Amino acid sequence: MIFGLVAGTVVATNRSDEIKGAKYLLVETCTSDAKGKGNYLVALDNMGAGTGEMVLLSQGSSTRQTSVSKNKPVDALIIGIVDLVETGGRFVFRKSV
């Protein structure tokens, strides 16, 4: 899995994904403490994430193992919204409410 920060929304009226009501987000990959890496992915949003949120991404063939994305041309999928990350006994990221 990959950490990412939602940077915005991607709209494409002509697409071949065959997923009804699909919402795509622009996501910048990041470190566990939410520092952006400058690499961006377009990801299918399966969780209802919003701009500025830290998310968990799945990428590659494993993204096509959900009921929504099964056998669809999806390469990046948001599979979770991160609430907190703890490492080495301290919190390095905590979602602001």
Tens-digit pLDDT profile for residues 50-76 = 999 999 999 988 888 787 878 888 889
**Domain CATH number, residue 73:** 2.40.50.220
Number of domains in the chain: 1
Tens-digit pLDDT profile for residues 16-54 = 767 878 899 999 999 999 999 999 999 999 899 999 999
Contacts of 63 (CB under 8 A, 6+ apart): 44, 69, 74, 75, 76, 77
Sort 90 into a burial class: Cβ within 10 Å, 0-12 / 13-18 / 19+: exposed
Domain that includes residue 29, residue range: 2-94
Return the amino acid letter for 1. M
E-state strands within 1-97 = 2-10, 24-30, 36-45, 54-59, 76-81, 84-87, 90-94
